[in-house]
Amino acid sequence: MEEKSCDCIIIGAGPGGLQAAIHLSRYNRKVILLDQGGGRTRHALHIENYLGLEITSGKELVDTGIKQIQSFGAEFRREHVASVMAENGFSVTTEKGRYQAPYLIVSCGVVENLPKIKGMNKFFSRAIFTCVDCDGYHTTGKKLVILGDSLDAMRLAFAMRQMFTPDITLILPAGLMPDDHAELLAEDGIAFLAGVPQEFLGDTALTGVKLADGQEIVCEVVMLSYDYTLNDSCLAGLSLERDGNGTQISTSPGCETSVQNLFALGALKAGKAQAIIAAGQGAMVGIEINHRLLGL
Ligand SMILES: Cc1cc2nc3c(=O)[nH]c(=O)nc-3n(C[C@H](O)[C@H](O)[C@H](O)COP(=O)(O)OP(=O)(O)OC[C@H]3O[C@@H](n4cnc5c(N)ncnc54)[C@H](O)[C@@H]3O)c2cc1C
């Protein structure tokens, strides 16, 4: 096992972790960034709400960010973090090494809870979306199906109706929707069906959703409402305060968690999951950690 120490360890090469690494390494601080690969940002095919970049992909954003941090001397390591302990600062263990630092930034993100539906990979991020802030705009004026497993999907349907398209069919598991809620949807012209989605249809373009009972619902785009799971298993050894739902990590406005000198960025923490927001948090935290290192 390799043993190394540095000023700050960063877990996760999302926009937040990368931006923090840029700031810290440009103060000539020693930074190790550990990332296992994959990640939500990489799945974003078309990011067009990031200032200064008319259109980019998450992959391009991350790959350029990795080159950028390396150019300033940060050490990038493709490793999976198994555990984090708060002892003498922070001790982070991967399959290849043990790393020690007085400051730790976690930017590990989340994974979407995607239902098993045939054709998901083919259309994901092209015509099947999970994030209104990211991709709602791409549904403007289109024939939309919303799939979900809770009444959050109904709230999403009303929001999509107001902002993007009047042509919406909401599909939920049987027994979930109270009758009076279905009437409210009908008043807004939103169609409702109880059913189990089985397959996304279409060769190159999405043309519809097939249900387990054989019905085929014609559509051009799909929004999914199935919530997320945090990539936080490596933090199990720390007792971090969580938000009201007990899910996302609570932080101060400066992104510090309930464990001193441990900062959380991006979708892992309570707040809005957007690339530019995570990057802003990363810049803020990088500057703050440098101030603490200066100790002046
Ligand atoms: C389809 C899609 C489209 C999107 N479109 C947009 C958009 O248009 N605009 C926008 O602003 N945002 C968009 N997003 C959301 C956005 O990409 C992220 O929410 C945002 O960038 C914050 O990401 P993050 O840094 O929290 O996590 P991520 O980007 O997921 O990065 C986390 C990283 O941590 C790594 N990691 C996790 N656990 C470990 C571990 N134990 N050890 C080592 N590494 C680990 C992961 O592998 C990953 O590389 C989109 C997301 C998706 C899925």
Write down all domains in the chain, each with its CATH number in brackets.
2-111+228-294 (3.50.50.60), 114-225 (3.50.50.60)
pLDDT averaged per 10 residues in sequence order, the chain, 296 residues: 97 98 98 95 93 96 98 98 96 97 97 94 96 96 97 95 98 88 91 96 97 97 94 94 86 97 94 92 98 95
Q: How far is the CA of 194 from the centre of ligand 1 (A)?
A: 32
Classify residue 3 by burial, with Cβ atoms within 10 Å: 0-12, 13-18, 19+.
exposed
Cα of 39 to ligand 1 centre, how many Å?
A: 5
Judge if the beta carbon of residue 286 lies within 6 A of ligand 1: no
C-alpha 275 – ligand 1 centre gap (Å)? 8
Q: Is 267 in the pocket of ligand 1 (CB under 6 A)?
A: yes
Predicted confidence at residue 87, as pLDDT, reads 87
Structure tokens at 289: 């950690």
Whose CA is closest to 2, among 34, 45, 29?
34
Give me Rg for the CA atoms of the chain.
Answer: 21
